[in-house]
Amino acid sequence: MPLRDGHNIGFFSGSSPTQLFAQFDNLLQPNQSPIAPVAVPSYIPSGMSLGHPRKTWHEVLDDRSLEMDRVIADKIRANPKLVQIALANIERWLANPDYSESNQQAVLEWKRIIENSSLDALLTLLESSSEEARRLRQSSPFCGILTAEERAAILRKYEALRGRAHLASR
């Protein structure tokens, strides 16, 4: 399926989930990885104080999700076909008869965004700290793009901040 700007993300409709994930494994395990598995750069804006005593734990978790999406954006920028993983997640979730109506609406919104946006617009959204981007991150279909090592490094970094954040909202 081509994105609006002509990048072909090649979604394989009609393929079984097993075939799709086998194809994704080929995308995720190239001869040379675009991002080192454990070297996860910091993507929090310089003006933002991580673990600032005035941040709530929920705000710290929002920062963590933003950092993950920024690493995902870098990986998609290096290999646009990784968007296929998000589309496959959406199709799998929508095919589940037990998936709630509200969750379906959230992932359908992501599907519309992915199918109707340019690659640059999609990457900008993933890297955005806007209220809309923060809301969309609550139902992100981009799971499966980070390696286990990349994800674990980010989780460890933010878990270390748990004691420095307020548990209640302001």
Give pLDDT tens digits for 34-89: 444 444 444 444 344 454 556 777 787 889 999 999 999 999 999 999 999 999 99
Amino acid at 37: P
Please check whether residue 35 lies inside any domain of the structure.
Answer: yes
* Residue 167 structure tokens: 């548990």
pLDDT at 82: 97
* Rounded Cα gap, residues 39 and 46, in angstroms: 19
pLDDT in tens, 96-154: 999 899 899 999 999 999 999 999 999 999 999 999 999 999 999 999 999 999 999 99
pLDDT of residue 23: 47
Indicate whether 70 belongs to any domain.
yes
Q: Torsion-angle region of residue 81: left (phi > 0), alpha (psi -120 to 50) or beta?
A: alpha
Could you give the CA distance from residue 91 to residue 88 in angstroms, rounded to a whole number?
5
Confidence grade of residue 24 (pLDDT, cut at 50, 70, 90): very low
Res. 19: pLDDT tops 70 = no
Return d(Cα 103, Cα 90) in angstroms, integer: 10
Q: What per-residue confidence (pLDDT) applies to 159?
A: 81
Domain assignment of residue 7, yes or no: no
Q: Is the pTM of this model over 0.75?
A: no
In a domain, 121, yes or no: yes
* Domain extent at residue 132: 17-164
The answer to the question of residue 106 being in a domain is yes
Res 56: pLDDT:
75
Q: Would you say residue 12 lies in a domain? A: no
Q: What is the pLDDT of residue 168?
A: 56
Report how many domains make up the chain. Answer: 1
